Structure 1
């Protein structure tokens, strides 16, 4: 396993269960991976779910997705494993794929420290919407830009939208601030969405459900996220009272070229 990948799949005593798993292992080894989030089942340790960034993609086809989702299932009675991988432009779509393979969404939602962080609660709301959406969004196209501008977009068809069913999820990074935003745009058809992506003639059109008619629901969801973050921070602060404080590691440098 490459040195940068800080997660051990514990496959040394196991053999691939099929040709597809053997091919997936080859793709895995050929990458330059950094684990961003993972969940390992217990008590039998039969499954592992990982979200990773593959830096080797930056040297390949321009715009290719850089986030890899990895699902491993072990059959300890047969000493075999199956391994599946899937590439995505952004982390929440990779998490969604893993949830579809049996990973609890709350177990794969937390990204490791040291990477760019969400800039606001709306970003968290949109990410959770994607992560827990099941098969709602059919991905039609993606693009990842490492520089000028630093962004990714995912073009989708929303099976639950009665109005403007083509949705664009736009992620923009501010490496200087160490943050990123995720926004959802709504379009009548694919042609309109591609036109906007090409010329950026105006702001990203908000989905109809963001309007005054349904906006209260969206605002309530964002408020719940903000409250959960506040409660979590208070609990962490309370747990740390009376314990020795260690010096901070200094400012976190955002990962360059990361789709986060």
Structure 2
């Protein structure tokens, strides 16, 4: 499976063996592992002393697909990729030293992974996540989207779909045991209302989080406005002794 890595110059030159925090950056549906490097200036954050890892996820939502037993993207992301990165690069292995951030489909995946594996990720970033995906019923106009969701999430009303529903996960995990959540959306995008609803659920459950609405729609223009704030929040987690406060 292809993935791209950005390293601090000292690591690329072979001069730094000190373990560094790792940020996994997940792309959106219809994109690929090159998106973060091609569409944003995220490379500059490697200079802060981080390893940035951008894996390929196809249209998988980076999940283990119910209807495609061989498509086990969540296992790949949380087990195989983490192991490979640790063997190849000076990666920190503690919870605070591991973050997952995604846009659109990748944002949903970041929430799912962070909530399902709270012991592994100290920070979760989700920009424009389609948090309402498990609620979307059949539609001829969006038949292929419906079919893809059914293959990945499972049939409507099934336990498999509930296990992959981030709203259900928020209700089932302990907020104090979960990493800090950065949640963002564009003020002109169709996902704003469900993302607001998700932010309300985080607030009621007592999660440590922040919710930011920025100008723009469901695109890299808006996500590039979110990225600086997201990484500023991430630094408070990744830097030893950093403390993140609850957000609103």
Compute the TM-score of the two structures, normalised by the length of structure 1.
0.30
**Structure showing greater Rg:** 1
The two structures have a TM-score, normalised by structure 2, of: 0.31
